[in-house]
Structure 1
Amino acid sequence: MKITVKAFIYSFLFICLGSAAHAQINMPDSVRVGLGAELASATGTGFGTGVTTDAGGTAAAAYSYGVGLVLRGDIPVMSHLYATATLGYISFLPTGKSSYSQQAILKTSLPDFNTIPIKVGLKWLLGNRFYVQGEIGETFLANKKELYALYGNSVTWSPQIGLVLPLKKRHTYIDAGLRYERTESFYNDSNHNTFWALHIAYEFNL
């Protein structure tokens, strides 16, 4: 599965590069590049390394919130439709009860859960401002050894809705969106890492 996803990503990026050159000539818009910030909130108590039960009998979440940066390119394919390529870095911070997680040793708090998602997808503009977007790719674990993970990368997919606001300066925009993201486990179990993320970015046309 992982090899298939990688092959898909590389093929997609190759097609996007060709589409970008074509778009510069035939499309009403040019390639857009955005640099943004994200605030993420993990869902449930099983994010990252999973959880056990503390002395009080309550499940303890190892990670709850994350912050990150993202670089995205939007390549016009046809009117209102863009191919997207996204590179990010999101760091999830341990909660106060992280020492009760499955990977904690002798009740020692875990390090940050640092991820590098690389995704490709499509963005469809509904009118001039609203959009829906879907992406698929892989998330790499930046500190695999510290977290005693079995795998350094895992399949990721994410749908997103958002709003593009043109600024006074021509060909510049603010992109604000809400995304749900799911990544397969790094520990060879049935756990999934899922979170919601608020995304805001400054975009400009090349």
Structure 2
Amino acid sequence: MKLQILSLLCGLVLIGAVTAKAQTRPIPPDKPVTGFRFGIGLEGALPMGDMKDLYNYKVGGGLTLRFSKGIAENLDVLLTGGAIGLLPEDLASETYDTNPSILIPVKLGARFMLGNNFYLMGEAGMTFTKIYTITNIDMTTGDVNEGFVNGSTFGYAPSIGVRFGKLDIGLRYETLSDINGGKGLKFEGVGSLNDGNGLSKAPASFLGLRIGFDF
């Protein structure tokens, strides 16, 4: 699946490059290069890999705010923040996957314009997580505890997009180094496992679509 996603992104990059080369209209000389913009965007998320198979998330959505500052003719830097909610596979079931979780990203990035409309972009930063999952297993009694786990993790996202005036549409593949934010599942009740050490990191990824409007 990751190979398919990367192939899709590469294809979009190729289309953007060809389209950009075909555009011969010059940038108006009076257009500010180092302008400042503020934008608001609707987010859609399609969980991939373990985020879908292990944590049973089916879809996500939210809202992000983005600040951009031009530093060259075709390059600007970005600061993006907001919140994205993740919905489980089956809200009607009585298992731990009945509760939504929340991602709160704070990312820095750079966007390079391929002509007048298409662009390539990369972002990285911290994502604060509030994940509902199994938090503890007592190996003596067999009791399983569930609840929200608050944490923070590193995330990064390559993306491609298109801008038409104030409309900004971007597609990205976002990866989190540990969806639990460093707060892994704990074992209790058996010898050395009683130290409360968590499991190894649980990377997670999703395909994100942002439809934004710049002011």
TM-score computed with the length of structure 2 as normaliser:
0.65
2:175 to 152, 172, 182: 182
Looking at structure 2, the residues matched to 93 and 129 of structure 1 have their Cα atoms a distance apart, in angstroms, of: 33
Count, aligned residues: 154
RMSD: 2.4
Q: Say yes or no: does 1:122 pair with 2:110.
A: yes
Looking at structure 1, the residues matched to 92 and 207 of structure 2 have their Cα atoms a distance apart, in angstroms, of: 20
Quote the offset at 1:147 in angstroms: 4.0
Deviation track 1:149-187 (CA, whole Å, cap 9, x = no partner) reads 3x5100000011000101xxxxxx100010110012213
Q: Say yes or no: does 1:41 pair with 2:46.
A: yes
Looking at structure 2, the residues matched to 122 and 109 of structure 1 have their Cα atoms a distance apart, in angstroms, of: 36
Deviation track 1:17-45 (CA, whole Å, cap 9, x = no partner) reads xxxxxxxxxx534111110101110012x
- Residue 164 of structure 1 aligns with which residue? 163
Q: Say yes or no: does 1:28 pair with 2:22.
A: no
Code of the aligned partner of 2:158:
P
Q: SS of 2:65's equivalent?
A: strand
2:68 to 74, 95, 100: 74
Distance 1:191 1:97, change over 3 A: farther
Which consecutive unaligned segments of at least 5 residues does structure 1 have? 1-26, 52-60, 100-105, 167-172
1:65 to 42, 59, 69: 59
Code of the aligned partner of 1:201:
G
Q: Say yes or no: does 1:84 pair with 2:78.
A: yes
Looking at structure 2, the residues matched to 162 and 64 of structure 1 have their Cα atoms a distance apart, in angstroms, of: 24
Q: SS of 1:152's equivalent?
A: strand
Looking at structure 1, the residues matched to 46 and 92 of structure 2 have their Cα atoms a distance apart, in angstroms, of: 15
Identity of aligned residues (%): 31
Between 137-146 and 178-187, report the one with greater CA deviation: 137-146
TM-score computed with the length of structure 1 as normaliser:
0.67
Looking at structure 2, the residues matched to 71 and 181 of structure 1 have their Cα atoms a distance apart, in angstroms, of: 17
Looking at structure 2, the residues matched to 147 and 162 of structure 1 have their Cα atoms a distance apart, in angstroms, of: 37
